[in-house]
Amino acid sequence: MLPDPAAPTVFVPRWQPPAGLPMGPLPVRPLWPRVRFWGQWLYLVPGLLAVVALVVLSFFAEVDIPGFGSSRPKPESRRWDWFYLSLAGYRLALSDDPEGWRKHTERQLRILTARAEDAELRRRRRKPARPPVQPRVTLPVRHYRGLGVGGLAELANARAWAVDWAASPAPASSLALVCIRDLQC
């Protein structure tokens, strides 16, 4: 039986994880989260003072500071998570709690994959003549360290995404993911 040419095509990855790659959780690095958490106060306190000074200055100078007092909804993802490590993030980085890591990884994966899918759908609507491209994202290890490569692959497969092993030469630093379902405009 021949495939129906009118049926949507689905990208099926042919990649397999490299032989001998540990699929479990990666080891906890206790030093780096501590340095990052306590060192952030060296730049956050002066930065906070500078922001307060700018806000006070803007009231006296009647200058609008973009984003201050904005009524736009706050995005789900914190754009400053590379800059600021919360207490919860600090505790998670030092923990071996697989359920906590699963929730954190699932949230980050949901945010990144939704952004990539939306960007591809917007590109297809703007330029429909171009051939479709499968959305791709890269997830840094700080978001899946306690879950491991295997757990991330399971979560990605549940969202119709797959790990691109060929584009992920160092799974201990980041993993590339590719969408394996056809996106409909």
**Could you read off the pLDDT of 98-144 as tens digits, one per residue?**
899 999 999 999 999 999 999 888 888 888 877 878 889 998 888 88
d(CA 94, CA 33): 7
Percent of the chain with pLDDT over 90: 16
- If one counts the domains in the chain, the total is 2
Inside any domain, residue 3? no
Range of the domain at 169: 96-185
How many CA atoms, within 13 angstroms, populate the side-chain half-sphere of residue 58? Answer: 13
pLDDT tens for each residue of 20-34:
778 888 888 788 888
CB atoms within 10 A of CB 130: 9
Same domain, 90 and 109: no
The answer on pLDDT for 11 being more than 70 is no
pLDDT at 64: 47
Q: Which pTM value belongs to this model?
A: 0.60
What's the pLDDT tens digit per position in 78-108? 555 666 677 888 888 888 888 999 999 999 9
Does residue 127 share a domain with residue 84? no
Mean pLDDT of 150-161: 91
